[in-house]
Amino acid sequence: MKKQTVLITGANKGIGLETARQLANAGYHIFLGCRDKQRGDEAVSLLHSEGLTDVELILIDVVNEQSVQQAHDEVAKRVDYLDVLINNAGIPGDFPQPATNTPDETFKQVFEVNLFSVARVVRVFVPLMQKAPNPRIVNVTSDLGSLALHSDPTWRHYDVKTAAYGPSKSALNGYTIALAYELKNFRVNAVNPGYTKTDFNNNQGYKTVEEGAAPIAKYAMIDKDGPTGSYFSDYGVTPW
Ligand SMILES: NC(=O)c1ccc[n+]([C@@H]2O[C@H](COP(=O)([O-])OP(=O)(O)OC[C@H]3O[C@@H](n4cnc5c(N)ncnc54)[C@H](OP(=O)(O)O)[C@@H]3O)[C@@H](O)[C@H]2O)c1
C-alpha cells in the first residue's frame, strides 16, 4: 500500500470519525476502528459517500483482548506495517463522580476503556508498527487529565472535578510518557481535543468536531523530528 495507514479506535462517531475524515482528506488510508458492525458500516458508508474511498472498517472492541488480536490480524493481512495508531476510544463513565462517593464499578469501567485498553491495543499493534519509517501514536487525552491545571483555581475548568474520568486521563498521560520513553523510534504524544460537541457530553461542548479533531490529526501527521512524549492542546503544549 503506497498511502500511509492509520488505525483509529472508536471512529464510528464524534471526534474519532472526524479525525478519520481529516486524515482521509490528507491522503491517508484509514482503518476505521469500531466495536459494532452496523455503526461501523454506516460510518464507512458516510465517508465513502463524501468521496473518501480509502476507508475500511476494522472491528475492534478495545476492552476485549480477542477482538483486539483479531483486529490486528485483519490489518496485518492488508499491510506490511501500520504507520499511525490513534487511541481515541474513550468513555466518561456515569456522572456525577464525587471523590467521596463514586462506585468501584465506575472507576473500573472508566479505567478499563481509557487506560488499560490503550495499553492493550499498544501491546498488540506495536510490533506491526516497528517496520514503519516514522511510526506515530496519538493517545487522545483531555485537559481534565492535567494535574497542573486542576490545581490552579484560575483555570476555566477548575470546578469540573471528576473522581474517575479525569484521573483516568492523568493515568493515560503518565502511560504516554512511559511509552514515548520506551519507543525511541516512535513519536508518541497525548493530545487533548478540548471541550467538543459530541455524544460524550450530550453535545454541550463549545468546539465543533472539526476543531476537536484538528490537533489529533496534526500530531498524527508529524514527521520524524517532531515532538514525542508531550501533551498538546490546540493552543500548544499543555502542562501535565
Ligand atoms: N468530547 C469532548 O469534549 C472530549 C474532551 C476531551 C477528550 N475527549 C476524548 O476524546 C475521545 C473521543 O470522544 P468523543 O467526544 O468523540 O466521544 P463519543 O462521541 O462518545 O465517541 C466515543 C467513541 O468511543 C467508542 N468506544 C467506547 N467504548 C469502546 C470500546 N470498548 N471499544 C471500541 N470503541 C469504543 C464509541 O463507540 P460506540 O459508538 O460503539 O459506543 C465511540 O465511537 C475520548 O477518548 C474522550 O475521552 C473528548
Give the burial string for 79-117 (b: 16+ CB within 10 Å, else e): bebbbbbbbbbbbbbeeebeeeebeeebbebbbbbbbbb
Task: Return all residues near 36 (Cβ < 8 A) that are at least 6 apart.
Answer: 12
The answer, as to whether pTM is greater than 0.95, is yes
Which ligand 1 atom is the nearest neighbour of the CA of 87? 45
At residue 46, the 3 state secondary structure works out as helix
Whether 193 contacts 10, CB under 8 Å: no
pLDDT of residue 39: 98
- Distance between Cα 25 and ligand 1 center (Å): 21
Whether 164 contacts 106, CB under 8 Å: yes
Give the burial string for 13-22 (b: 16+ CB within 10 Å, else e): bbbbbbbbbb
Give dist(CA 136, CA 199) in Å, integer. 27
Active site residues: 165, 169
Does ligand 1 have an atom closer than 6 angstroms to the CB of 138?
Answer: no
- Tell me which residue has its CA closest to atom 32 in ligand 1: 61
- Distance between Cα 197 and ligand 1 center (Å): 12
Beta bridge partners of 231: 190
CATH number at residue 163: 3.40.50.720
Grid coordinates given for 86 = 490513534
Give dist(CA 188, CA 172) in Å, integer. 12
- Tell me which residue has its CA closest to atom 42 in ligand 1: 10
Per residue of the chain (240 residues), give pLDDT as tens: 689 999 999 999 999 999 999 999 999 999 999 999 999 999 999 999 999 999 999 999 999 999 999 999 999 999 999 999 999 999 999 999 999 999 999 999 999 999 999 999 999 999 999 999 999 999 999 999 999 999 999 999 999 999 999 999 999 999 999 999 999 999 999 999 999 999 999 999 999 999 999 999 999 999 999 999 999 999 999 999
pLDDT of residue 96: 96
Does ligand 1 have an atom closer than 6 angstroms to the CB of 59?
Answer: no
Total structural domains within the chain: 1
Which residue range forms the structural domain that includes residue 50?
5-237
Which ligand 1 atom is the nearest neighbour of the CA of 64? 31
Q: Which of 224, 239, 131, 228 is closest to 192 using CA atoms? A: 239
- Tell me which residue has its CA closest to atom 43 in ligand 1: 10
Give dist(CA 205, CA 209) in Å, integer. 9
Which ligand 1 atom is the nearest neighbour of the CA of 200? 20
Does ligand 1 have an atom closer than 6 angstroms to the CB of 215?
Answer: no
Q: Which amino acid is at 6?
A: V
pLDDT of residue 2: 85
Does ligand 1 have an atom closer than 6 angstroms to the CB of 20?
Answer: no
Give dist(CA 56, CA 25) in Å, integer. 14
Beta bridge partners of 230: 189
Ligand 1 mutation pick, 9, 13, 39, 70, max ligand atoms within 8 A of CB:
13
